[in-house]
Amino acid sequence: MNVLIISPGYPADMPEFTRGLAQSGATVFGVGDQSVDRLPEQVRHSLSRYVQVRSLWDAEAVIQQLRESLQGLSLDRIECLWEPGILLAAQLREHFGVQGMSVEHANWFRDKEAMKVVLDSAGIRTPRHEAVDSAAGCWAAAEKIGFPLIVKPIDGAGSADTYRIENRDELRDVMPRLRHVPRVSVEEFIDGEEYTFDTITINGEIAFYSIATYRPRPLIARSNEWISPQVVLLRDVDDPTLADGVRMGFDVIKALQFETGFTHMEWYRKSDGEVVFGEIGARPPGAHQVDQMKFACDFDVFRAWGQAVAQGKISEPWQRRYNVATIYKRAQGVGKITGFEGVDVLQQRFGEHVVWNTLLPPGTPRRDWRKTLVSDGFIMLRHPEILETLTMADAFASELHVFAQ
């Protein structure tokens, strides 16, 4: 099977997916705007050919360069696991006559309003919503939906440019910050616990899924610099309190007619037990949440995805063994990382359960916490028991401090 993968070297986990595809028996071609010498070594070893383009966002130019570079070669699949490239992948499929998600179908996963319209028609509970492209439209939607509400980009990813609005004054204050966003979704605010539902799907059937929860909700973490956000992947996906969310996830895959690949969903469970769908992306989750799945089940999830794409089955053995928590740290101060407090004591207490430590070393410039969940590095740990996992995660969140100056 010949598979073209878009942007094989970026973002951070794309090299692993590229490797997984090659190790699953596919002949892998790559297209991206990175130069060959800047591709990670792992990517260069996994690709049979790489086509560098000036811009991935000029579809016509990309098509022309691929036609010239891949002349005489046929493509069986075109894959993209990066949110901004989902529509480009669909455009390439249509041009080269490759099976897979069409432009119209891909729009369901990029346009939050189109997505919710399809799910509403299927009887899946979504927040009440309106898509608007003007300040007047925002005000009209707010009056119809009522406060509190959420305003976010139609085609956004993560919680960037997303605001919780409590009243008219807050909506007025937020308006200038949204001038650069062409269309926004004005939605009912759902007060509840927030979860993920992530899948590897083959021909419309879910072959593997995973559930994680956010501590606290992403919107709160995005609004408070002092918080050390946590993502906790849950071992016990058969917990009865999750059953309605799991069922909804299966229904969403069916309603949106997703065929083969990775998906990342978010959903809510309200205090009264009602579950409400949030959104879905035709891609894996970011911030190294795929690595959480790897450590939770002791299997190569990147190769499992490659097998799903190239072989139509997952032959990687796996078993749910652990809960996995990732604690993302934000330095106190500005400038460069100067040091840590508490890391040695915590390592002595919990070191056997820590599977990954990416804290930035002293001398490294501090990252902008508003632009990346990974922030100034993270601690990833695992344990079979959820209470022990949460205890350790809270200790790293509250007792580990990173300083910058």
Under DSSP, is residue 210 helix (H, G, I), strand (E, B) or coil? Answer: strand
What are the tens digits of pLDDT across the range 333-366? 999 999 999 999 999 999 999 999 999 999 999 9
CATH 3.40.50.20 fits 2-100, yes or no: yes
What are the tens digits of pLDDT across the range 248-289? 999 999 999 999 999 999 999 999 999 999 999 999 999 999
Does the reported pTM lie above 0.85?
yes
- Looking at the DSSP assignment, which residues form a beta bridge with residue 268? 194, 276
What are the tens digits of pLDDT across the range 279-288? 999 999 999 9
Q: How confident is the model at residue 112 (pLDDT cuts 50, 70, 90)?
A: confident
Can you tell me the mean pLDDT for 305-322? 97
Say which CATH class 192-320 falls into: alpha beta
Q: What is the sign, positive or negative, of the torsion defined by CA atoms of 80, 86, 91, 97? A: positive
pLDDT at 157 over 70: no
Nearest Cα to 279, choosing from 97, 88, 126, 404? 126
Q: What does the mean pLDDT of the chain come to?
A: 95
pLDDT at 159 over 70: no
Nearest Cα to 197, choosing from 236, 246, 140, 243? 246
Q: What angle do CA 358, 225, 171 make, to 5 degrees?
A: 135
Q: What is the pLDDT of residue 352?
A: 98
Q: What is the pLDDT of residue 255?
A: 98
By the 10 Å C-beta count (0-12 exposed, 13-18 middle, 19+ buried), 37 is classed as exposed
Fold of 128-188: Dna Ligase; domain 1 (3.30.1490)
Stretch among 143-157, 213-227, 253-267 having the lowest mean pLDDT:
143-157
Q: What whole-number distance in Å separates Cα of residue 278 and Cα of residue 143?
A: 21
Can you tell me the mean pLDDT for 27-43? 97
Stretch among 257-261, 279-283, 321-325, 370-374 having the lowest mean pLDDT:
370-374
**Domain residue extents for the chain:** 2-100, 128-188, 192-320, 322-405
